[in-house]
């Protein structure tokens, strides 16, 4: 593999890791507050559809982004209502959201556009433009450093940079602010937070809302940045992979970045190398495509060490009288 090919693979890694990273951070906020969210997949899917649909209808990717975030927040509100207010089973609520999003997105797409459950291809202002960072063209001729800056760091859409900036921001919010301290405490000992006079319900709804916002960004990027429109089930299990990355990272932001880049690298390699020849043994394309999902199973099977979730995770809080 030459240097140019390596840069192309790493560039694809960054792009493919972006929706995973946003969804992973979304799950991080939610699960740190004690609300398990299996519905990341569904929120990303419905955000992808409404982003693409509104962007196709208006020609504005910004309106599409707002529509995607709004749709994701609606599903987050439903999950919060079922899990926090009515104290239902959080896992069942998340699975129900996934089924609802999968069916509803295709149904509405067929009704609106009549193209078999997809939206029209996005062009012009309906897609995110790539941003060329300062001095990218000037430094492109510098050996090693120039191509890395010009081709790997520069040339991405704004949501890619937002996703990577969200990592230090998430770390700062969770570990350097009063809100983050209370959010983590709610996931570990909600009764102590309640005793201190802080609303457990309010904090958990805030976490679920942040989760919906980030899932909206992830879904919007899928449909208007990574691809040029919405197709059926376009999330392709990314919500579940993000959950696996979250467990792999043991609910820590910087580790989540590394985990998502690892999954993104596997997807990039699978796309780049369809058939790999290892001394007469050819690895078929199906095996390469399955690599990210195989790693997901390996992680969830517990082969990466013991991952301890927040102590109050998955348990509805009942205020003592």
- Express as a percent the part of the chain with pLDDT over 90: 70
Name the phi and psi angles at 251, rounded to 5.
65, 40
Q: Establish if 291 belongs to a structural domain.
A: no
Total tally of structural domains belonging to the chain: 1
**Residue 135: predicted pLDDT:** 85
Residue 315 CB partners (closer than 8 Å, separation 6+): 34
Q: Tell me 233's DSSP state.
A: T
Q: Tell me 226's DSSP state.
A: I
**Residue 180: predicted pLDDT:** 96
Question: Is the C-alpha dihedral spanning 20, 151, 225, 9 positive or negative?
Answer: negative
| pLDDT tens track for 125-156 | 999 999 999 988 888 888 889 899 988 999 99
- Give the span between the Cα atoms of 175 and 179, in whole angstroms: 9
Is the CB of residue 110 less than 8 Å from the CB of residue 117? yes
| pLDDT tens track for 61-95 | 999 999 999 999 999 999 999 999 999 999 999 99
Smallest Cα–Cα separation from 31: which of 300, 251, 219, 216? Answer: 251
pTM, entire model: 0.94
Three-state DSSP class for residue 273: coil
Question: Is the C-alpha dihedral spanning 23, 24, 27, 28 positive or negative?
Answer: negative
Q: Establish if 306 belongs to a structural domain.
A: no
**Residue 52: predicted pLDDT:** 96
**Residue 225: predicted pLDDT:** 94
| pLDDT tens track for 233-247 | 999 899 999 998 999
Q: Establish if 80 belongs to a structural domain.
A: yes
Phi-psi region of 156 (alpha: psi -120 to 50; beta: other; left: phi over 0): beta
| pLDDT tens track for 206-255 | 999 999 999 999 999 999 999 999 999 999 899 999 998 999 899 999 99
Domain that holds residue 199: 3-128+143-235
Q: Establish if 173 belongs to a structural domain.
A: yes
| pLDDT tens track for 40-65 | 999 999 999 999 999 999 999 999 99
Q: Establish if 88 belongs to a structural domain.
A: yes
Q: Establish if 264 belongs to a structural domain.
A: no
Q: Establish if 273 belongs to a structural domain.
A: no
Q: What is the DSSP string of 10-51?
A: HHHHHHHHHHHHHHHHHHHHHHHTT---TTHHHHHHHHHHHH
When pLDDT is cut at 50, 70 and 90, the band that residue 24 belongs to is very high
Which carries the bigger pLDDT value, residue 18 or residue 291? 18
Q: Establish if 211 belongs to a structural domain.
A: yes
Inform me whether the pLDDT recorded for 282 exceeds 80.
no
């Amino acid at each position: 593999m030459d240097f140019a090919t390596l840069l192309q693979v790493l560039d694809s890694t960054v792009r493919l890791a972006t929706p995973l990273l946003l969804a992973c951070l979304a799950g991080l906020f939610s699960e740190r507050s004690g609300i398990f969210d299996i519905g990341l997949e569904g929120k990303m899917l419905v955000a992808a559809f409404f982003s693409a649909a509104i962007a196709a209808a208006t020609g504005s990717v910004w309106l599409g982004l707002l529509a995607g975030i709004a749709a994701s927040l609606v599903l987050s509100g439903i999950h919060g209502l079922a899990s926090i207010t009515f104290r239902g089973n959080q896992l069942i609520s998340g699975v129900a959201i996934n089924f609802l999003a999968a069916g509803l997105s295709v149904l509405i797409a067929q009704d609106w556009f009549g193209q078999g459950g997809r939206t029209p291809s996005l062009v012009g202002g309906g897609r995110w433009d790539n941003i060329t960072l300062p001095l990218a063209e000037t430094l492109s001729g510098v050996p090693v450093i120039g191509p890395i800056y010009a081709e790997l760091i520069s040339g991405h859409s704004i949501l890619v940079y937002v996703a990577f900036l969200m990592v230090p921001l998430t770390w700062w919010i969770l570990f350097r602010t009063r809100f983050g301290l209370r959010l983590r405490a709610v996931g570990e000992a909600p009764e102590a937070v309640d005793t201190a006079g802080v609303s457990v319900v309010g904090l958990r709804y805030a976490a679920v809302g942040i989760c919906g916002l980030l899932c909206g960004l992830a879904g919007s990027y899928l449909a208007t940045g990574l691809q040029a429109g919405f197709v059926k089930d376009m999330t392709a299990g990314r919500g579940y992979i993000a959950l696996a990355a979250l467990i792999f990272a043991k609910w820590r932001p910087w580790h989540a970045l590394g985990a998502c880049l690892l999954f993104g690298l596997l997807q990039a390699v699978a796309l780049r190398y369809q058939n790999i020849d290892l001394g007469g043994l050819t690895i078929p394309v199906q095996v390469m495509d399955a690599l990210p999902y195989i790693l997901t199973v390996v992680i969830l099977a517990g082969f990466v060490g013991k991952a301890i979730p927040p102590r109050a995770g998955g348990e509805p809080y009942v205020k003592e009288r």
